[in-house]
Structure 1
Amino acid sequence: MIHTQQEEQNYIEEEAGKEHFIFLLAVGSKGSTLDQLLLFLGSRSVEELNCLASKIVSSVLLQRKDGDGGPVVSFVNGVWIDQRFHLKPSFEEVAKGVYGAITKEVDFVTKATEVIEEVNYWAETATKGLIKHLLPKEESLGNDTCLVLANALYFKGSWDRKFDPSRTEFKHFHLLDGQIVQAPFMTTMSYERNLYGTFDGYKVVKLPYQNGPHNLRFSMYFFLPDATDGFECLVEKTDPTVWNCDSSLVEEDVKYLWIPRFRFSFELEASSTMKELGLELPFMDVGEFTDMMDTDRSPVLSKVFHKSFIEVNEEGTEAAASTAPGLILCCARIDPPRFVADHPFIFTIKEENSGLVFFIGSVLNPILVS
């Protein structure tokens, strides 16, 4: 969704969680709606999605514990259904067993405010307090709301080689509109070995996080346009092959590595964006979400609320994101390379063994908090 964001706004989203809630939509759908969801996800069947989800939940996310020396990761799913209805046993079984979701019956009609507070507290707890008020108190739930799906993802990792805070310097950062701001840059002023690569119009550097006593490895990738004004050209090149560039990176003596410190939050009501990306049928009254709940009328996806947060500093990275869709009843070089991120760039956080991208985002102004 980087393509659709406003030019002055920093951006981050959870790739893993976003896909999970779409996975659950696919589990409860059929017909043309299911076909469109599968096409969007690049999958052949719901069974294939469930297999991937099970792998993510069991082998990647649930192993990450506080105190094991590596990054801390928590990932949770939740399903809230109005007490007038019941989840179909087949859907509830998959939601709980495969996706590790909690399920709960609530009263959207007379206690919508309390339900909003409950979902928000759940998201805030799961993200260690970083995501507050996932559902806005006004207009997020109504009498016609029958179901809310939500997920939350939290990540905190320390760099394998931490930056020295005494070397942090304020330097120029060039914005998309030509303006220049002063931003704090984490720096290395001597040669250091880094995985680095050059591509058509941009360069990439990979910074690994410390690992714990397990076989999971997390890294952050920075994608920097060669040209100061090359961000839009970089965005046009982005696809899954760009994020999976590991085989093209080689160890290099990087003379200067300058990365700005940044800390920002991002929020979005994503229904319009999802429609622009081709997911239109889930928002239409075509009666194809009937595999979710026992009702004569199929629910329709109405709104998708997303909030996220990230902080990158000399110690490492802390990031969190949460998404809640609501459904309603309708009616080769000689010189040593340099990596100076003094203009807009894209970043990802990825688990190396599984290839799972947890977060993707862009920094257009590192001193902009939200």
Structure 2
Amino acid sequence: MNPKTRKQKCLPSSLSKKMDRKNKKKRKLSKSQEIIVASPTLTEIEVPRAIDVRKAMEKQNDVALFLAGKVISAVAKNSNFVFSTASINAVLTMAASTSGYDDLNAVFREIACVVLADGSKNGGPKIAVVNGVWMDQSLSLSPSSKDLLMNFFKANFFQVDFRSKAEQVRMEVNEWASNRSNGLINNLLPPGSVRKKDTDWIYGNALYFKGAWECKFDKSMTKDKDFHLLNGTSVSVPFMRSYEKQYITAYNGFKVLRLPYRAGRDDTNREFSMYFYLPNKKDGLGNLLERMTSTRGFLDNHIPSYKVEVGKFRIPKFKIEFGFEASKVFDDLELEVLLYQKVSIEIDEKGTKAFTFNAYVGSYLDAAPKPKKIDFVADHPFFFLIREDQTGTVLFAGQIFNPSKSS
């Protein structure tokens, strides 16, 4: 059979969510009465008051790119990297919630209800969110604060003895993270991170995402090809291929690919996609990242809005894991806490699986003209992210320098 006759396995058009509706108004977010954070279903969710999440997330997305740039320059320069700004935001919001930050809680409520709702029962992405709070037994918590943590954030709440059993608590938190991630996230908190003298709280957030491509790749078309490294050598890795039209736009010096995920039958408020940012030059990712992190509104201003015919089209399969102490990277932001994150992500012909866990340990306190055909061959370092397009919420972001390595 001629390979060009092989098709990506696409959903029926009734389920396809096309971005061609560029000039149409954004759909309104749902409104409701009940908050469900740990894997809610879409039919159970309503939102008590309207918040301009889109406006809030525009700023959050700029912050997300800024933080990505910080992490890359500090601990992941010229190496594979992935992290979750959504998970960091969740754990910091939970830590600040008992201090009366109502606006933060309102934004979290809307994101939890719309973005982080589980859509797997209706054929959409599987999303699970689990929160945990460990508080020293010597401290007291007001009934309203405890109610906020347990009923609003749906957090597992534990009172523990940090003073005499700090190491035991550290191991319990790591076990909790491992159990919640089906063994994907292990040894999140390193030895010595939980100190008996000054640890009063640990806030944990686990976020799981599993999405199937709207148009799955034909596994028989996956072939090993060279991926070019910065040192001038190359490695042979499996590349997924397709001859179907794709959401691609060429800009000055780089291209952007959007791969939509399959949406649920009743999922009218959300559109998840994975984005690939590919510099034209094989060693151009550093300059592209500098441009992305320094340009306000970069993400919203560089979204492929229509499908184009493709010439050569290849993206590598990869599976990577990355963990770091975020508080050291962001020390100039004066967090005054210890913040750890570990993320695992895998993409293949079917879709994407990603898992992140955060632990906060603290004290009490310009597009080109539309081409007829376009190549997109991701055979050199590129940046990627997973985003919910209606609100603009970035769930995961990272970069690939060598897809043959897992870290």
2:258–2:304 CA contact under 8 A, matched in 1: no
Identical positions, percent:
36
Match of 2:355?
320
Runs of 5+ consecutive residues of structure 1 not aligned to the other structure: 31-45, 284-300
Q: Does 1:6 align with 2:59?
A: no
Q: Does 1:49 align with 2:86?
A: no
Task: Name the amino acid aligned to 1:324.
Answer: A
Match of 1:255?
311
CA distance in 2, matches of 1:143, 1:204: 48
Q: Does 1:339 align with 2:376?
A: yes
CA distance in 2, matches of 1:329, 1:217: 38
2:136–2:200 CA contact under 8 A, matched in 1: yes
CA distance in 2, matches of 1:360, 1:323: 15
* Displacement after TM superposition at 1:64 (Å): 0.7
2:210–2:353 CA contact under 8 A, matched in 1: yes
Runs of 5+ consecutive residues of structure 2 not aligned to the other structure: 1-66
Change (3 A) 1:329 1:53: closer
Q: Does 1:17 align with 2:87?
A: yes
Task: Name the amino acid aligned to 1:326.
Answer: V
3-state SS, counterpart of residue 227 of structure 1: coil
3-state SS, counterpart of residue 21 of structure 1: helix
Task: Name the amino acid aligned to 1:54.
Answer: R
Q: Does 1:311 align with 2:356?
A: no
Q: Does 1:101 align with 2:168?
A: no
Q: Does 1:149 align with 2:203?
A: yes
2:272–2:386 CA contact under 8 A, matched in 1: yes
3-state SS, counterpart of residue 143 of structure 1: coil
1:57–1:99 CA contact under 8 A, matched in 2: no
* Displacement after TM superposition at 1:58 (Å): 2.3
* Displacement after TM superposition at 1:249 (Å): 2.9
* Displacement after TM superposition at 1:60 (Å): 2.8
CA distance in 2, matches of 1:9, 1:247: 25
**Equivalent runs, 1:82-121 vs 2, <5 Å:** 82-121=136-175
* Displacement after TM superposition at 1:109 (Å): 2.2
335-344 or 6-15: which moved more?
Answer: 6-15
1:167–1:187 CA contact under 8 A, matched in 2: yes
Task: Name the amino acid aligned to 2:259.
Answer: L
**Equivalent runs, 1:101-180 vs 2, <5 Å:** 101-136=155-190, 138-144=191-197, 145-180=199-234
Counterpart selection for 1:206 from 235, 242, 258: 258
Change (3 A) 1:170 1:321: same
Match of 1:360?
397
* Displacement after TM superposition at 1:130 (Å): 1.4
* Displacement after TM superposition at 1:334 (Å): 4.5
Change (3 A) 1:18 1:347: same
**Equivalent runs, 1:166-315 vs 2, <5 Å:** 166-188=220-242, 190=243, 192-215=244-267, 216-239=270-293, 241-245=297-301, 249-276=305-332, 279-280=333-334, 282-283=335-336, 301=337, 303-315=338-350
* Displacement after TM superposition at 1:329 (Å): 6.8
144-153 or 248-257: which moved more?
Answer: 248-257
CA distance in 2, matches of 1:230, 1:253: 25
Change (3 A) 1:99 1:246: farther
1:14–1:321 CA contact under 8 A, matched in 2: yes
CA distance in 2, matches of 1:83, 1:333: 63
Task: Name the amino acid aligned to 1:143.
Answer: K
Change (3 A) 1:329 1:71: closer
Encode CA deviations 1:264-294: one digit per residue, 9 max, x unaligned: 1101011121114xx11x32xxxxxxxxxxx
1:123–1:132 CA contact under 8 A, matched in 2: yes
The alignment's C-alpha RMSD in Å is 2.2
* Displacement after TM superposition at 1:247 (Å): 5.3
3-state SS, counterpart of residue 109 of structure 1: helix
3-state SS, counterpart of residue 257 of structure 2: strand
Of Structure 1 and Structure 2, the greater strand share is in 1
* Displacement after TM superposition at 1:25 (Å): 3.7
3-state SS, counterpart of residue 164 of structure 2: coil
CA distance in 2, matches of 1:140, 1:66: 36
Task: Name the amino acid aligned to 2:229.
Answer: L
1:79–1:149 CA contact under 8 A, matched in 2: yes
Match of 1:350?
387
2:257–2:304 CA contact under 8 A, matched in 1: no
Task: Name the amino acid aligned to 1:18.
Answer: I
| Count of aligned pairs between the two proteins | 329
Task: Name the amino acid aligned to 1:272.
Answer: K
2:257–2:277 CA contact under 8 A, matched in 1: yes
CA distance in 2, matches of 1:74, 1:165: 28
Q: Give the TM-score normalised by the residue count of structure 1.
A: 0.82
Change (3 A) 1:273 1:88: farther
Change (3 A) 1:329 1:52: closer
Change (3 A) 1:353 1:214: farther
144-153 or 177-186: which moved more?
Answer: 177-186
Change (3 A) 1:228 1:155: same
Change (3 A) 1:177 1:29: farther
Q: Give the TM-score normalised by the residue count of structure 2.
A: 0.75
* Displacement after TM superposition at 1:150 (Å): 0.9
2:271–2:388 CA contact under 8 A, matched in 1: yes
* Displacement after TM superposition at 1:256 (Å): 2.2
2:228–2:380 CA contact under 8 A, matched in 1: yes
* Displacement after TM superposition at 1:92 (Å): 3.1
